[in-house]
Amino acid sequence: MPHARYETRGDIGEIVLSNPPLNLFDATLMAELRTAVGEAAADAPRALLIHAEGKVFTAGVDVHVFEGLDIPAADALTASLLELAHTLEDMPFPTIAAVHGLCLTAGLELSLACDLLWAAEGARFGLVERVVGITPLMGGTQRMAERAGTARAREFVYSGALYDSATLHAWGVVNRVVAEDGLLESARAFALELAAGPTVAHAATKAIVRAQADHGTRGADERTAQLTSHLFETDDSRNAVQSFLQNGPGKATFTGK
Amino acid sequence: MSLDLHALESSFDLVAPRGDELMDVFYARLFAAAPGVRPLFAQTDLRRQKGMLLGALVLLRKSLRDLDRIVPTLRELGARHVAYGALPEHYPVVGEVLIASMTEIAGDAWLPHYTDAWVGAYGIVAGAMIDGAHDAQAPIAA
């Protein structure tokens, strides 16, 4: 059985970590995860959900991966991990991570490369790289800082402590906290709802948020027309404008074209 | 046209466990066979590109028995490749290099009829992608 796989469900794609009990990020899981992300990029579903089988999302990276690395090998590992995060982050459709149980190191960094993070009540999160004398390699520190602020990011990584869903929700890292037994169902329903929407517009929204993070508010302003004007020539917008004028708001359906 | 699904699946499963190596061989062979395409990848992270191509091939492998489902995806993929600078004349060399790369990776386990099966399958894939590319360009030409 694969340790990570891509599958489709209606208009959404799903990447599933499937190496319980711990879903450890070993060489096999990381290779299969890269392929699964590549499959998702090629398939271009209208939304993507990432979740995991078993009692925990992941206990993080298999420490054997770090054993005996020299600087060139570490450079290559970091480049490979960041490339995975960037591929996911650049996908032009909404992405959601649904996290339960425990979510450590690369698993949290993978989740932070998604647009939205939904967490089960009782889930615990940590960037615990300090335990093996390193610091996160897959962009988790900077993405935690982007969402929660620099002081919290420093605390989170310096301490290597586990933080619960409620704390990360209060910090703005987690979008929603839901009961664990309903997490997958509710996150999937939300992904399907997004996928049924004007997904070309969602891609533009995503690009504007990215522009704001990378270039500041005025930088995003400078790019807004370039990122949005084509929307008026989409079938979805033209049909929705007519639907609005003829039948009022909320009646339009969208195809993602 | 009927595809030899068993040959396609068996042959891909031979090379899939060495997917990273397959991608390394593919791009090395591609740039050797068609140096003119190299500039198309100038702004591309080749590591990412390799992951995406391997992902697309795995997606194709999983969809061989339900090709109708993947044809729209292939057309959209072809449409997106217009922006990357891909031209219809690039498709044959990519197919030849891909099959040669799979043959190299599989070694003695590669059977002659696997090549025939992949020539047929690649023809369908390339056809769908070129159709998608044509559709994407149509509004500009009109």
Q: Does residue A146 sit in the same domain as residue A113?
A: yes
For residue A257, is it within any domain? no
User: How large is the ipTM?
Assistant: 0.82
Instruction: Examine the domain organization and report whether A164 and A53 are in the same domain.
Output: yes
Q: Which amino acid is at B93?
A: V
Give a yes or no: residue B60 inside a domain.
Answer: yes
Residue B131: the pLDDT is: 94
Residues A206, A128: one domain? Answer: no
Asked whether residue B142 is assigned to any structural domain, the reply reads no
Chain A nearest C-alpha distance from B98 (Å): 17
Between CA A111 and CA A98 the distance in angstroms is 8
- Dump pLDDT digits (tens) for A8-59: 999 999 999 999 999 999 999 999 999 999 999 999 999 999 999 999 999 9
Does a structural domain hold residue B42?
A: yes
pLDDT the model gives residue B138: 64
The answer on A178 and A67 residing in a single domain is yes
Number of domains in chain A: 2
Would the CB atoms of B51 and A40 count as touching at under 8 Å?
no
A82 touches chain B (CB under 8 A): no
A150/A91 same-domain check? yes
* Residue of A83, A89, A91, A200 to mutate, interface with B, max B Cβ within 10 Å: A83
Q: Which of A195, A214, A229 marks a domain boundary?
A: A195
Residue A235 at interface with chain B, using a CB cutoff of 8 Å: no
Q: Closest to B58 (Cβ–Cβ): which among A39, A80, A86?
A: A39
Same domain? A232 vs A112: no
Chain B: residues touching A (Cβ < 8 Å): 19-20, 45, 47-48, 51-56, 58-59, 73, 76-77, 80
In chain A, what residues touch B77 (CB-CB under 8 Å)? 42, 44
Domain annotation covers residue B98? yes
Q: Please pick, among A7, A39, A53, A109, the residue that the annotation labels catalytic.
A: A109
**Partner residue opposite A44 with nearest CB, options B19, B58, B73:** B73
DSSP 8-state class, residue B138 = H
Q: Let me know if A32 is a catalytic residue.
A: no
Residue A228 is assigned to a structural domain of this protein: yes
Q: Which residue has the tokens 């990357």?
A: B84
* Residues A109 and A160 occupy one common structural domain: yes
Residues A226, A171 within the same domain: no
For A84, residues 6+ apart whose C-beta sits below 8 A from its C-beta are A30, A33, A34, A37, A110, A113, A138, B51
Measured in angstroms, the CA of B107 and the nearest CA of chain A are apart by 22
Q: Within this chain, do residues A51 and A157 fall inside the same structural domain, yes or no?
A: yes
The number of folded domains in chain B is: 1
Distance of alpha carbon A139 from the chain centroid: 12
Across chain B, which has 142 residues, the per-10-residue mean pLDDT values are: 89 94 96 93 88 93 89 92 90 96 97 96 94 77 44
Q: How far is CA B41 from the centre of its chain?
A: 16
Distance from CA of A256 to the nearest CA of B (A): 12
- A218 and A191 co-located in one domain: no
CATH classification at residue B89: 1.10.490.10
Is A39 in contact with B59 (Cβ distance < 8 A)?
Answer: yes
A121 part of the active site = no
Identify the domain containing residue A227 by its residue range.
Answer: 199-247
CA distance A180 to chain B (A): 31
Please judge whether B59 and A43 are an interchain contact, meaning their C-beta atoms are less than 8 angstroms apart. yes
- Extract the residue ranges of chain A whose pLDDT is less than 50: none
A189 and A207 within one domain: no
Residue A222 domain-assigned (yes or no): yes
**Structural domain includes residue A252:** no
Domain residues for the domain of B112 are 5-137
Answer yes or no: do A49 and A175 share one domain. Answer: yes
Q: In this predicted model, what pLDDT tens digit does every residue of A143-163 receive, in sequence order?
A: 999 999 999 999 999 999 999
For A49, A52, B38, B85, the CA distances from B43, given in Å and listed in that order, are 29, 34, 10, 12
Quote the strand ranges of chain A, DSSP E.
Answer: 4-9, 12-17, 47-52, 95-99, 102-104, 116-120, 124-126, 163-164, 176-178
From A121, A129, A193, A222, the catalytic residue: A129
Compute the half-sphere exposure of residue A239: CA atoms within 13 Å on the CB side of its CA. 13
Return the pLDDT at B142: 42
Which residue of chain A is at minimal alpha-carbon distance from B20?
Answer: A31
Q: Is A223 contained in some domain?
A: yes
Question: What is the dihedral angle through the alpha carbons of B130, A233, A91, B14, rounded to the nearest 10 degrees?
Answer: -20
Rounded Cα distance, B74 and B59, in Å: 10
Q: What is the pTM of this model?
A: 0.91
